[in-house]
Structure formats: structure tokens, C-alpha cells
Amino acid sequence: MKIQDIYIYPIKSLGGIRLQEAEVQTKGLKWDRRWMLVDEHGIFLSQRSLHHMALLQVDIETDGLKVFLKNKPDNNIYIPFEPETKDFIQVQVWEDRLLGQIVSPIANQWFSEILNINCQLIFMPESSLRPVEEKYTVNNETVSFADAMPYLLIGQGSLDELNSRLDNPVPMERFRPNLVFSGGAAFQEDQWTHIQIGDCSFKVTKPCARCVLTTVDQNTGIKGKEPLKTLSTYRRKDNKVLFGQNLISLKNGTVKVGDKLIIK
């Protein structure tokens, strides 16, 4: 088995970026979900309710991010890695509350106009710590603005098996993984507890419970019923639909496309 794809999602719930290699950090891959859009109450925004967030794509450039509309790439904004303000507000990701840094008034205005909702773009500095749920930690790990865990791993075989049941196959991007591996049987990752990729090691913490975001077409922003409808017929446990495995990093380093995945 080997790593087939590596993805990061710098701004939570916007388009992802495929990389050839990435730096493994405790919070997640470098730049992964270090930014987030929040409403006027500081609560995170996502494609779950704002499906058209799928139409915003992110690219990494030398000194920052470029965000643009997929169907109108000339409508874009550049966001430096370093926020332009020194202002912090309390933000909320599910049950977690922490301080986030306001990026810039210009970014707030651009996103508010695009999404037609009053919102702010927030950055997570290294000083803002969001603990992983204690029962899953080894060394008091923290996480970025991701839903709950720093990493998500999915086998290509698992998606292939799901697509064999669908009238219209879906791409891997619907599930927003960080690491995709090839080889092995469908859902083999369900049985693992520890893995090694290159010089990095990970603990497999829990299955990933899937939500309506998986039903949003990432090219049109239109919500449907699949693949959640089909997944729920055979991947449901404790009233949750499971697909992919969450991880924490036990040894940081660099992962590359083509690295062997070793079960430990």
C-alpha cells in the first residue's frame, strides 16, 4: 500500500489543494484549516448550510493564499499568511471556543459579498490551542479548525467499493481526506490502530462520521442525496454513517505521494 493523494484545505469548508508532499504537524498538515469563516456571532460557517461555499477554491502561493470563484476565477482575493490585524475574537467550532485572529477588513468584505452573509475570515495562530478530545489523545494533542481530528485517511478501495453501488460515482473530494492510499481491500483501514507513512507515525483514533456535506457537488454547489443515502444502508453504526478514519500524529515529519503505508 502507498500514499496516492495528499490534500489540505487551508480555509475550512472551501476547496482543497492536492500536494505532492506536505509537512506533518501536530495540529494537522501545514496550512490545513488554519483559516475559517465565522458569522457575526463567531460561529463557524460550512457547506452544511452554505452549499455555495463549494464554489470557492483556494491556491497556495509564495507568501499567502489566493481565493477565487471556480466559475469566475477573475473574481479573487489574495490573503497573506500573516494576518493584517492584531485583533482577536472568540470563535466557535462545534462545542469548542477559542481565540481567532481577524485577518483583514478587506477579506471580511470580499467573503461577505460573495457568500451574501455578514462574515469574518479568522486565522489560528500557534498561540491558539484547541485540544483533541482527551479520550483520543496520547500527548495532549491539539487540532486546527478541522471538525474534530487533525487527519483523515481514506483508502481508494473504499471509495471504489462505494462507487460500485452508485448510479453516478462520486469523486474523493466529497469526503475531504488529507491522506488517500491505494492498495488493500475496501475499508481495510477500519481495522488499523497504528500506521507509518515515510518517517511519520500515526494513531488511528476513530471512524469519521459523515454529514450532508458529502452530498454537495463541489463543482456546482448543488446538494443531492448521494452518496450519504447509499452509505447509510451499509455503513451505519450507532446512528452514524462512517467513512474514513481519523488520525493523530505521533511522530511528525514529511509525507510524500508514493510513500509506503505500513500497518504497525
166-198 pLDDT tens trace: 999 999 999 999 999 999 899 999 999 999 999
77 pairs with which residues across the strands?
A: 67
Q: Residue 227: its pLDDT value, please? A: 98
Place of cell 470563535: 91
Nearest CA among 65, 2, 63, 16 for reference residue 175: 16
Q: Which residues of 201-214 are buried (b: 16+ CB within 10 A; e: fewer)?
A: bbbbbebbbbeebb
Q: How confident is the model at residue 93 (pLDDT cuts 50, 70, 90)?
A: very high
Exposure class string for 94-121: b at 16+ Cβ within 10 A, else e = eeeebbbbbbbeebbebbbebbeeebbb
The mean per-residue pLDDT over the stretch 63-88 comes to: 97
Q: Residue 147 corresponds to which amino acid? A: D
In the predicted model, what is the mean pLDDT of the chain?
97
pLDDT computed for residue 236 by the predictor? 97
Residue 138's pLDDT is 96
Residues 6+ apart with CB under 8 A from 201: 194, 195, 249, 250, 251, 264
pLDDT score, position 65: 98
d(CA 14, CA 36): 9
Q: Which residues contact 3 (CB under 8 A, 6 or more apart)?
A: 179, 180, 181, 197, 255, 256, 257, 258, 259, 261
Determine which helix (DSSP H) or strand (DSSP E) holds 8, and give its type and residue range. Answer: strand 2-8
Give the pLDDT score at 32: 98
Averaged pLDDT for residues 93-112 = 97
Would you report the helix, strand and coil content of the chain in percent, each value rounded to 5? 15, 40, 40
Query: Could you give the angle at the alpha carbon of 249 between the alpha carbons of 246 and 254, nearest 5°?
Result: 115
| pLDDT confidence bin for 234, thresholds 50/70/90 | very high
Tell me the average pLDDT across 101-108: 98
Position 137 confidence tier, pLDDT thresholds 50, 70, 90: very high
Does pTM top 0.85 for this prediction?
yes
